[in-house]
Structure 1
């Protein structure tokens, strides 16, 4: 069997590689897994009770409409309308098997091999990986000093082959939230050039404000430019249920549904029911978890303010700490490998989110309890003092 050389090694998933490192660790301490972000608490009781009832229903395992359960789409449209002070309609929503699938389907409608898509740096690695796997050239938009992309810099990257600008806000891996004005200026750039602005808003519920993330959905013409992607995984602690959404024009969604029908037929019914239960029965629970996570962020930032082992916290928000390691002469992959094997600590190298090695690491502080932050700092201190390295193989 011949393999496409573009898919071999150079586009491996950083999250899968973190699992390989875990298997090699010395195990002298309990594992601190700050790699893949996930809630460290179970789903709300109301969600669990509802999905248990669905599982017992004779039709609980049936297919749904390709676009998703009508009652979920209506509930999500109402939630978005409240959150964005706008009027979002159910026909503008397609439910997908997670936000990763939402991105893949939307981009596959908008671009093809040979086209270009502008990715704001640091980018989410699966976005970069999907583009390159499909022969679409990612064009990297460097961030400003506040880690928010500059619209003028974005405009300078646009060519006749550009099809979209992609921004994750709040950011993964940086945790930084772009303000409404910055998002709206990017949308204006996209509109002038007849491009899509793809906003991955997976972490919108974990911002430190109840104000709308942006005002784009209040514009009667937003469908011509905006593609908003969402996830229910973090909001309701159901990442394994795989449920997300594309919010876009009915015209774009019609094409998204053709692809969805081919790859999955529909998003899993049980995940859709869990998302509906969260939206209608667990909103207070959702807000309480967001407040807890904000307190966790403050505690993590306070611990990292001492720069343990020379590791510097550059930004922190939602689920993530974006850190710079102190080893100027070493590759970030090597530093991450040593942290895993010698110090039983899993993080993701910044090279997964950047086109070049910038000595950055992503630590998902949401994965551990606050009592573990001091332990994490102690392990970084020990790593900073050590000059021992582990061979690559």
Structure 2
């Protein structure tokens, strides 16, 4: 039956969430072998006990369900600003921080305050799929920046993409899906480039706690750079294990935040109080717990890199960091969507196809190595090896008996 209403054409032309599509394959698995879930980057452990205790106390409080100030709980904004000022050796103040319902919302609000239909934003390939989707659904054209062989973007190549319609350049570090960590000096070059052209530099720093480095990610969180267009986006989901609490933040200039507040008032009024209370407790009471979780992810990364060093089954690790590995498969001439389907249906290994992060198929997929226990990496190598041997024998999808 034909629908009785018309829908937004820009929304309709987008595919459904690749995460949802990937998990939709699980119901078609034929066997009962343990699934290696390498798809979504969500912590597989509960929040710190200190956070859980604080959330329980807030839930029992008579005001635990009240609205909060639109820009966020003052104590959270102050604590987060202090942490960033220390970590980045900058001068971040609470007034630079607007708390949002997750980093996805932080991006949507920030870019909507900066650009509108007919404008353009530079995205580095491979991009995070929700960034690309949001731009195109809102009539903002993405301009794709090809990185170098090391997957690092070039400021000179970026400058060639900038025209009078470009409103911002977006960098994600550590990368999602690539895991690539951008050097501080390179980020500074992009900030200078954006400043020369009077556009914003947006930094999605969702995985900042998993860089494997205690030195500042960059030195741009200060009054001068924030007022000149640097925008830093953050999430509390990963390092505090709070993905369902939906809490993130925009760190930007006073004028940007004023515009963001107009948008936030329309879509959410304020981020959920309980998530903000949880984030505050995590920042102020669970520092050791956070450090241990980050160290565990670093161990997993090292183990994943070790098992991929021998290119099991011909699968090649192109880059790695944060929560992710970016892998090229050996199924030459086969659509990556088909490869991913085979991996989950025949080898019980769930990954996200690279076509979710690129405008065309380049034979790649994303692995979230943070999702599995360290002991599972050897099993992953066995499964990749079996899939590769099947390809070599001219029997894609065969092998690895149940």
Provide TM-score, normalisation by structure 1: 0.97
The answer to whether the 8 Å contact 1:26/1:344 transfers is no
Q: Does 1:352 find its partner at 2:352?
A: no
**Structure 1 position 148, deviation (Å):** 1.3
SS in 1 for 2:221: helix
Query: 2:94 corresponds to which residue?
Result: 90
Query: 1:262 corresponds to which residue?
Result: 266
The answer to whether the 8 Å contact 2:312/2:385 transfers is yes
Alignment partners' CA distance in 1, 2:344 and 2:374: 20
Query: 2:369 corresponds to which residue?
Result: 365
The answer to whether the 8 Å contact 1:115/1:162 transfers is yes
**1:333-361 CA-partner distances (Å, limit 9, x unpaired):** 11001111111211000111112211111
Query: 1:149 corresponds to which residue?
Result: 153
Alignment partners' CA distance in 1, 2:326 and 2:380: 14
- State the number of aligned residues: 390
Match of residue 37, structure 1, among 27, 35, 41: 41
**Structure 1 position 9, deviation (Å):** 5.4
Q: Does 1:73 find its partner at 2:77?
A: yes
Match of residue 288, structure 1, among 286, 292, 296: 292
**Structure 1 position 28, deviation (Å):** 3.6
Structure 1 unaligned residues grouped into runs of 5+:
none
The answer to whether the 8 Å contact 1:141/1:149 transfers is yes
Alignment partners' CA distance in 2, 1:279 and 1:295: 23
SS in 2 for 1:86: coil
Provide TM-score, normalisation by structure 2: 0.95
Alignment partners' CA distance in 2, 1:20 and 1:205: 31
**1:262-320 CA-partner distances (Å, limit 9, x unpaired):** 11111010100010001100111111111111011001111111211111111111111
**1:85-116 CA-partner distances (Å, limit 9, x unpaired):** 11111111000000000000001110001110
Summarize the alignment of residues 312-327 of structure 1 with structure 2, pairs less than 5 Å apart: 312-327=316-331
Alignment partners' CA distance in 2, 1:218 and 1:2: 46
Match of residue 24, structure 1, among 23, 28, 39: 28
**1:106-129 CA-partner distances (Å, limit 9, x unpaired):** 011100011100001111110000
Query: 1:246 corresponds to which residue?
Result: 250
**Structure 1 position 219, deviation (Å):** 5.8
- The root-mean-square deviation of aligned C-alpha atoms, in Å, is 1.3
**Structure 1 position 8, deviation (Å):** 2.8
Query: 2:178 corresponds to which residue?
Result: 174
